[in-house]
Chains A and B, each alone.
Chain A
Amino acid sequence: EVQLVQSGAEVKKPGESLKISCTGSGYNFPNYWIAWVRQAPGKGLEWMGIIFPGDSHTRLSPSFQGQVTMSVDKSISTAYLHWSVLKASDTALYYCARPAIVDTAIVDIWGQGTLVSVSS
């Protein structure tokens, strides 16, 4: 079964750093992009960007450039989303997802989401 399993919920303070993870299984992890999508409480979906595990090529949406870093360790089929300085506005549910190999806009596999709460 193809699946993405994300790390557990996090409670952090503003100014702290954080790295959340997304581990893929059941498919050839290096060959498929991994996308990250943010959903603030009660709000809609925001596309953060994508990373290609095969070569770590990253495409961040303009709104998230300089705000987060995406990385991957293909040896353990895991992608990461990293903040060096968290803000309260980073409080959200973060999904990793796998776009289809033929069209990166078709996102057909989703992780369960990681809830990040940032509060003083």
Chain B
Amino acid sequence: QPVLTQPPSSSASPGESARLTCTLPSDISVDRYSIYWYQQKTGRPPRFLLYYKSDSDVGRGSGVPSRFSGSKDFPANTGILFISGLQSEDEADYYCMIWPGNAVFGPGTKLTVL
């Protein structure tokens, strides 16, 4: 099972943007996979936010605002979740996931909105 890397924490102020990363191991290319992103607030089940495969293959979960978007940094072998116009309600843990035959979650990033 591949091991995904996410920074344990990130912080930004309301109205600013956040860029959360999910790095794949060097032996698997981010180009091959859709990167799925989940949000989990304290005491709640996770919520599917979006997936990003390419600019022409993206999907957002029901009710997820457009200020959540995905992309990839190919040289860094990384999937990116971008959140613009941060709001206090965005404070949560964010998990990336890939599906190499079975789902693999990253360790999660705790986003603090200061």
Contact with A along B40-61 (1 / 0, CB 8 A): 1000011110010000000101
Q: How many residues from B make CB contacts under 8 Å with A?
A: 25
Would you call A106 and B48 a contact (CB within 8 A)? yes
Give residues of chain A (29-77) contacting chain B, Cβ–Cβ below 8 Å. Answer: 35, 37, 44-47, 49, 59, 61-63
Residue A107 CB within 8 A of the other chain: yes
Q: Interface size for chain A: under 10, 10 to 19, 20 to 34, or 35 or more residues? A: 20 to 34
Would you call A61 and B1 a contact (CB within 8 A)? yes
Would you call A106 and B51 a contact (CB within 8 A)? yes
Find A104's partner among B45, B98, B99 (CB 8 Å cutoff): B99
Would you call A47 and B107 a contact (CB within 8 A)? no
Most B CB atoms within 10 A — which of A47, A62, A95, A113?
A47
Give residues of chain B (77-114) contacting chain A, Cβ–Cβ below 8 Å. Answer: 93, 95, 97-99, 102-108
Chain A residues engaging chain B, CB cutoff 8 angstroms: 35, 37, 44-47, 49, 59, 61-63, 95, 97, 103-108, 110-113
